[in-house]
Copies of this chain bind each other. A is one copy, B any other.
Amino acid sequence: MSVSVRDVAAAASVSVGTVSNVLNHPGKVAPETVARVQAAIEKLGFVRNDAARQLRAGKSRSIGMVVLDVGNPFFTDVARGAEDRAAEDGFTLLLGNSDEKLAREGSYLDLFEEQRVHGILITPVGEDLTRLGRVQANGTPAVLVDREADRAQFSSVSVDDVAGGYLAVRHLIEQGKRRIAFVGGPHGLRQVQDRLAGARKAVAEAPGVQLELIDTDSLSVLQGRAAGEALQSREAVHRPDGVFAANDLLAMGVLQALHMLGDIRIPDDIALIGYDDIGFASAAVVPLSSIRQPAALIGYTAVDLMLREAAAGAGFEREHVVFQPELVVRQSTSGA
């Protein structure tokens, strides 16, 4: 059914080895032979069988990536950066979506292992990285994205989320806000923990400022809207006057709820700041203040580290790149 090198070899009256050389080391083959083989390939419509190729090579030309949420523009931006770097070296990016679920994350890791992927980029759902450690021990380099852990074991590319949380809440406090609410969850996510830790730090430095936690099940617009509705249904005096959402999707949900259902003024009654600075943040009902992370660069760098680790082999010194987040002020916190 499918055309193989054998068929091409026969059609061009050469050996299979020569066909393979034309494909992979054309310099080693006489020009006219190359032409003849290529004509045969063209004529027969030969397409390399990647499975056989990989079987022989022992490793694939793909890189596996698992993100928390493909619906979040932040992660698609990271993936884009990763894809760019991968393409530079002829690698393909396989993108998996864990949806913040351990089970889905696990099944992508299974898949990637079975595919003998060249390396793995992952934003892990939980704290437990033993599974990933095992993969790594078997020779597949893994790089943590947007998350730092056990520095000796995994390379990582991250942004200082504690600093980001601090920036966000300090900014709210500087705007005169005193009753701050942190909207986010699940708390198993390191991003959530760190951003909250930064928030706590900023609050601790400012006497008289209170911090309230409003938990969500995930970092989605829907969850944000639910949180916003909860706030909106409270009596005005019991509402916070500043809200820090763990990411922009949540923030946009909160914004929708507050703005559309209620008569709450933003930022006068409640100031709102998000995290990630996704492209849509600036186009929101009230343009959203946020903490910017260099998404594409994170992805690019992660693949870079991974490829370096793969090339270096066993005794590789793990690297850790930490970017600094940046405060972006828009109308949702600054009425002017």
A residues whose Cβ falls under 8 Å from a Cβ of B: 1-2, 45, 47-55, 58, 60, 70-71, 73, 76-77, 79-80, 83, 92, 94-95, 97, 111, 113-116, 134, 138-139, 221, 252, 255-256, 260, 279-280, 282-287
Contacts and interface: CB of A to CB of B under 8 A. Distances in A.
B285 A50 contact: no
Nearest 9 pairs between A and B by C-beta?
A: A51-B54, A50-B114, A51-B55, A280-B280, A47-B113, A51-B51, A252-B283, A50-B115, A48-B114
Contacts of A114: 47-50, 53
Contacts of A60: 51
A107 to B, nearest CB: 9
B51 A115 contact: yes
A80 B76 CA distance: 14
A284 B256 CA distance: 9
Contact of A70 (B49, B79, B287): B79
Contacts of A97: 80, 83
Say how many copies of this protein the assembly contains.
2
Given A1-B139, A50-B115, A114-B50, A279 B79 contact: no
Contact of A95 (B47, B71, B95, B255): B95
A77 to B, nearest CB: 8
Contacts of A256: 282-283
Contacts of A49: 55, 114, 116
A92 to B, nearest CB: 6
Given A252-B283, A260-B287, 6 more contacts: A1-B139, A51-B116, A70-B70, A221-B279, A280-B283, A283-B285
Contacts of A116: 2, 49-51
Contact of A285 (B45, B115, B138, B285): B285
A55 B94 CA distance: 20
B58 A2 contact: yes
A83 B108 CA distance: 13
7 contacts: A2-B116, A45-B138, A50-B114, A51-B54, A70-B70, A76-B76, A256-B282
Contacts of A95: 95
Contacts of A70: 70, 76, 79-80
A36 B76 CA distance: 44
A52 B58 CA distance: 10
A219 to B, nearest CB: 14
